[in-house]
Structure 1
Amino acid sequence: MSGPEPNTQVLMELKALRDRVPQLIGTLVASTDGLLIAHDLPAHIEPSGMAALTAAQLSLSHRLAATANGGGFHEVVVHGEGGDVVIYAVGWTASLTVLAGPGTNIGRVHLESRPAARTIAEQLTTVAGDPNQTSDPK
């Protein structure tokens, strides 16, 4: 395999996202079962614990979306006193969590984070070898 390691590619995408939206406090990518893939979090947030919390919220959000309207889940926004937490589905196997400071424009967060989630999904799919992929990888 040539090029950077998959987690390095994901970490580069996380850092680029924070560069594009300076009001972000941190970012994290975790598997749906709560395993940490990559993070760009401040020191006071424990990455593995945040990955587990993200997986729990992701599971609840998937279930809520399916129960309420029979559709798939894309993202959830949690507005808090000290800022916002936005969790995006990254394909079927992971999530992107974005921590935004108070007063951050959530529209801007979505504008930058949605494409980042798609890019990360592509990076993770390429590494895992998507079983739904129809083209010959030669």
Structure 2
Amino acid sequence: MGRLTKVPGPEPNAAVLAELKALCERVPHMTGALVASNDGLLVAHNLPAHIEPTGMAAMAAAQLSLSHRLASTAHGGGFHEVVVRGTDGSVVIYAAGWTSLTVLAAPEVNIGRLHLESRPVARVITDQLSAMTNDRKKTHARKSE
């Protein structure tokens, strides 16, 4: 039998990766972050080596979907973020357009500071990815002409 090897994913978005790294540097006790599409495809990550990024992206998308549904059912409105606090740390998922920003933090993190730093980053990432998508559409349209 042949040996199975991990297939490399697409190259991470450099601008998004830079935002994730800068966020981790600004927030004490933050342990990692990732951006994934709403259907669970990994865009970029800055996760510790022991966490498998594509699996984490899929779980973040599932939690995002459930949270959207829960907010909609309970209040009829939109969803912004969900905080999951565990004994060994927190996971916070922020809705960001067609993506989500997932942030991991140690139990000692100041959640208020985490929100203060992460919410604007989620908006910046949304803007960056939207601009890139629009640029690709324009380039594709020009090539089709």
Tell me the distance in 2 between the aligned counterparts of 1:104 and 1:22.
7
Instruction: Assess, with a 3 A threshold, how the Cα gap between structure 1 residues 6 and 35 changes in structure 2: closer, same or farther.
Output: closer
Alignment of 1:119 with 2:120, yes or no, is: no
TM-score by length of 1: 0.88
Contact 1:6 1:123 (8 Å CA) reproduced = no
TM-score by length of 2: 0.84
Figure out how many residues of one structure are paired with residues of the other and give that number: 125
Look up the match of 2:8: none
Q: Tell me which protein shows more helix as a share of its residues.
A: 2
Query: Which of 19, 26, 30 pairs up with 1:20?
Result: 26
Contact 1:6 1:127 (8 Å CA) reproduced = no
Q: Secondary structure at the match of 2:77?
A: coil
Q: Secondary structure at the match of 2:126?
A: helix
Aligned structure 1 segments of 4 or more residues deviating by more than 3 angstroms: none
Residue 6 of structure 1 deviates from its aligned partner by: 7.7
How big is each residue's C-alpha offset from its partner over 1:50-103, in whole Å with a ceiling of 9 and x where there is no partner?
000000000000001111001100000000000000000011x10000001012
Tell me the distance in 2 between the aligned counterparts of 1:123 and 1:39.
15
Instruction: Assess, with a 3 A threshold, how the Cα gap between structure 1 residues 6 and 47 changes in structure 2: closer, same or farther.
Output: closer
Q: Secondary structure at the match of 2:113?
A: helix
Q: Secondary structure at the match of 1:129?
A: helix
* Paired amino acid for 1:125: S
Structure 2: gaps of 5 or more residues: 1-10, 136-145
Q: Secondary structure at the match of 2:122?
A: helix
Alignment of 1:29 with 2:35, yes or no, is: yes
Q: Secondary structure at the match of 1:43?
A: coil
Look up the match of 2:59: 53
Alignment of 1:105 with 2:95, yes or no, is: no
Structure 1: gaps of 5 or more residues: 131-138
Look up the match of 1:94: 99
Look up the match of 2:133: 128
Instruction: Calculate percent identity across the aligned residue pairs.
Output: 70
Contact 2:12 2:43 (8 Å CA) reproduced = no
* Paired amino acid for 1:74: H
* Paired amino acid for 1:61: S
